[in-house]
Amino acid sequence: MSNRFQDQVAVITGGADGLGFALARRLAGEGAFVALVDFSEEKLQRAKTAFGTDAATFKLDVTDPIAAHKAMNDLVAQKGRVDVLVNCAGITGKTGIKSHEVALDDFDRVMNVNVRGSFIMFQAVIGHMLARNYGRVLHIASISGKEGNAGMLAYSTSKAAVVGMAKVQGKEYAETGVTVNALAPAVIRTAMVEAMPEQQVKYMTDKIPMHRCGTMDEFAAMVAFIVSPENSFTTGFAFDLSGGRATY
């Protein structure tokens, strides 16, 4: 495996398990120092044990701007830089229900974590990236944000907002050395997917021409390219990882 992230510092929200943890392993394997941001102290402790001195951990609610800015300022004080931010933290909310059945507090909670959280973390790192004229930001969206998944109103809406955010930010910072993109996966077999009703998962995989979930290794490999120095021209774009599902 290459060392294309040698001496770089990569921040991964939701980094203590699932997609975030798989990505952290990939980036660390290519030379990065990884900063894992998560809400679960227990998961962070396990992750810290797995990475040892190659990682820092931050117990953080990504919807709290004061805590997010403090954590990123502390990281830069320690390591001198932030090169990569990947916003993996996200929740699905209640699924398998129609829009008129969605509770407003559940809708607000999903939007708060998935959209507000990604925005806050972006604001917490962008100043540090601009100071060094380099950065890679990736917001993890979903194919449901591009095409809509029936029964997942709050989640699909939040991920559409994430795609829109990446497109705006990519344009705004295009001449700064900082790229901002989104990734729209179809179903990746994670604990979050395992927690969904099987009927909901079948509904989603039936739409995938490959008729299977993506793997966490496939996810991590694609993300590693998007946030690498090699990917210096593409910005404001929503990459697909869909097994052929995307129709546009």
More confident of the two residues 182 and 242: 182
List, for residues 9-40, the tens digit of each pLDDT value: 999 999 999 999 999 999 999 999 999 999 99
What's the CA gap between 149 and 125, in Å, rounded?
31
The answer to whether position 244 is within a domain reads: no
- pLDDT tier at 248, thresholds 50, 70, 90: low
For residues 184-208, average pLDDT = 81
The answer to whether position 243 is within a domain reads: no
Residue 100 DSSP symbol: G
List, for residues 92-146, the tens digit of each pLDDT value: 999 989 999 999 999 999 999 999 999 999 999 999 999 999 999 999 999 999 9
For residues 150-166, average pLDDT = 97
Residue numbers of the domain that contains 138: 9-238
The answer to whether position 76 is within a domain reads: yes
In this structure, the strands spanning 9-13 and 135-140 are unpaired
Phi, psi of 183 (to 5 degrees): -125, 130
Task: Compute the mean pLDDT over every residue in the chain, rounded to the nearest whole number.
Answer: 94
Structural domain total, the chain: 1
- pLDDT tier at 41, thresholds 50, 70, 90: very high
The answer to whether position 1 is within a domain reads: no
The answer to whether position 98 is within a domain reads: yes
- Domain holding 101: CATH number? 3.40.50.720
Kindly report whether the global pTM for this prediction surpasses the value 0.75.
Answer: yes
The answer to whether position 246 is within a domain reads: no
Residue 115 DSSP symbol: I
The answer to whether position 35 is within a domain reads: yes
Cβ atoms of residues 223 and 30 within 8 Å: no
- CA of 33: how far to CAs of 6, 30, 79, in Å? 8, 9, 9
The answer to whether position 247 is within a domain reads: no
Tell me the three state secondary structure of residue 190.
coil
**Residues labelled catalytic:** 155
Tell me the three state secondary structure of residue 136.
strand
